[in-house]
Every structure is written in C-alpha cells, then in structure tokens.
Amino acid sequence: MSFDRLVTAPYRGRSAVELAAAPPDALMGVSAADADRLDQSFGIRTVGELARLDAFGAARAIESAASAPAFDPGPPATWAQRFAEAPLDAYLVRPDLFRVDFGPVYYRGRLDGTARLLVVGQDPSVNEILAQRTFVGQSGQRLQGLLAKLGVTRSYLMLNTFLYSIFGQFGGDNAALSRQDPILGYRNALFDLAADHNPLEAVITVGAGARDAVDRWPGADGYRRVHILHPAFPDTERLLADWNVALTALAETVGPDDGAEPGSPYGDDIAPDEVLPIPPADLPFGLPPWHGTGDHGKRSGPTIIEWHSQEV
C-alpha cells in the first residue's frame, strides 16, 4: 500500500519498512526543527520510534474515546454523494432475485478516513435493514467478537456485495449480475473510495459472494486479503478453526487500535463473551439500546418485517 499522502516528497514511493526507519520530519507537518526537539526531549530519531512512544499511544487512546460520538452521524459529503449514485434500478427490476421492498443498506463503521480494515460481506438481512447498517444481527455480533480478538474495536469499514438482500444463496443469476455493470462497477468504486481515503491494512471477505466480489476488484492486489467462513456457518468446529487461521494471518498486518489489546484464539465453541454487541457509534441516532444485541427482527412475509423488543 502507498503512504505517499502522509509523507513529504523525498520519501514518497518508499515501503513501510523504509518509512519506519526514516526521520520524523519525513511525515507531512513535521519540520526538521520538530524532529530535533523530539530527539532532544524523547530520544526519538525515527518514525517507528515516534509511533511506539507510550505517551503518544496513550494520548491517541484518550482522544479517540473522548471524541467518538455516541452514534453514527451518517456519511460525510463524499460518501453521501457516492451512495446517492448507487444503481438501484439494477436491483429494482429484478424483484425475483432481490428483496427490494425495504430499501438498500450501504455500510457500517468508519467513513471518517480512519478505517484500517475493510470487511466485505454479501447482503443485508432483517436486523441490518431495520438499523440501516450492515452486519448488525447475530452474525455481525460474532464478527464483532472476531475483530476484537485482533484488537480492532473501531477502525473498520464494512461494505456488502449487494445493497439489497437476496433470495437464497450466491450463485446463478444473482452472481451473474454481481459480475457485470452497473453493480460491479459501482461496487468497485466504493472499494476504491475506501482505499483512497483510508489507511487500509487488510481486507476480510465473509462468505463466497464477498470473495467473488473482491476477486473482481482491481484495487485488491495491494492488500493482505483474508477470506473467512460466514459467521452463520453451521459447523462450529470448522468455523472456529477457519477463524483462528484468519486471526493469525491478519495479525501479521493489522495491529490493535489505540488502547485495545488483542484477544486469545477461539476454543472449541464460541463463548458468550466472544459475541459482542454492535457499538452504539456504529448505529444511527435514536435506535433502542437493545438493537445490535441478540436477534430482534424476523420476516413474517414477503413484505413484512417484525421488530421485537425481546429476542425472537
């Protein structure tokens, strides 16, 4: 991946290893005088030493906690414009393939330029439609636990292969539509926007549809890609073995968020504390506090969704 937007001209085009060994004034906004003061005050002579400064990490953790809103404020202008360009007609003309009655679901997570991990799923289900955010139901809560084991508690962005829920599994006609414009081109444009505006370190694909989608994204070649079985995969033993392999692979590239610590691998089963509520900062203002915990929505007909305050 490129760090050219973060460094001064003499250091552009260099690898992360080279930049970590560069002096602090290689960073945009840090002068040679600033670098001298860092050396005199803290003994810091490289970008890597600056990143590892305990006081710096503590300050970032405090600032992050203090500034994080208690809800998702919604997409900023650049993302809102891109979402508004979605080719919804390509879905609406195929009600035989897509559940179009309740509208599209676009994302969950960071649109503020801080995402280090891009997570790609397949399509939204009932709890996602109700919250208008993806990966909110029980599968999303399992996925939240997986991210926590990496120490990634905030700096992620989740997008889907399809904006609408599909009938059945990925394959056949819906797969054909996924592999052609306008759905293909639009989805790749979303991935490009995520890559251009975030310091992404890796991409996780969840399920077959997501892997196929990222396989068809030209920009994917620059990132560590890790495919995982869907959280709803019925064989728990296979699921957790697969996820433990993924955790090992991701840990080579993705470090923990400021103030967070990586967790231990999964055991023989998913423990209750490994299924985490969806953070309120990922959800729109005004949702009841129980949404994003357990399972509160279900379909009771082609055009009916039930929303229960108790788990269903």
Residues 183 and 293 both lie in one domain: yes
Inside any domain, residue 242: yes
Residue type, 171: G
Q: How many domains does the chain have?
A: 2
Among the listed residues 207, 244, 246, the one whose alpha carbon sits nearest the alpha carbon of residue 226 = 246
pLDDT over threshold 90, residue 63:
no
Residues 214 and 116 both lie in one domain: yes
pLDDT over threshold 90, residue 272:
yes
Inside any domain, residue 82: yes
Q: Which of 18, 36, 52 is the last residue of a domain?
A: 52
pLDDT over threshold 90, residue 202:
yes
Residue labelled with tokens 């029980």: 138
Residues 44 and 94 both lie in one domain: no
Residues 42 and 185 both lie in one domain: no
Alpha helices for 198-284 (secondary structure H): 208-215, 236-251
End-to-end, the C-alpha distance of the chain in Å comes to 44
pLDDT number for residue 1: 58
Residues of the domain holding 17:
4-52
Among the listed residues 245, 240, 201, the one whose alpha carbon sits nearest the alpha carbon of residue 227 = 245
Inside any domain, residue 70: no
Taking every pair of C-alpha atoms in the chain, what is the biggest distance, in angstroms?
A: 69
pLDDT number for residue 67: 64
Any idea what DSSP says for residue 86?
Answer: -
CB 226 within 8 A of CB 117: no
Residues 26 and 148 both lie in one domain: no
Residues 150 and 294 both lie in one domain: yes
Residues 201 and 195: their CA atoms lie apart, in Å, by 10
Inside any domain, residue 57: no
- The token pair that represents 189 in the structure block: 């444009």
Mean pLDDT value across residues 77-82? 94
Query: What is the CATH classification number for the domain harbouring 164?
Result: 3.40.470.10
Among the listed residues 135, 137, 148, the one whose alpha carbon sits nearest the alpha carbon of residue 108 = 135
CB 151 within 8 A of CB 145: no
- Please state the separation of Cα 183 from the chain's center in Å: 20
Residues 164 and 88: their CA atoms lie apart, in Å, by 9
Minimum mean pLDDT range among 10-14, 52-56, 216-220: 52-56
Residue labelled with tokens 């081109």: 185
Residues 45 and 87 both lie in one domain: no
pLDDT tens digits for range 230-244:
999 999 999 999 999
Inside any domain, residue 62: no
Q: Are strands 304-307 and 297-301 parallel, antiparallel or unpaired?
A: antiparallel
Residue labelled with tokens 């991935």: 191
Q: What is the residue-averaged pLDDT of the chain?
A: 93
Residue labelled with tokens 């399920």: 207
Inside any domain, residue 231: yes
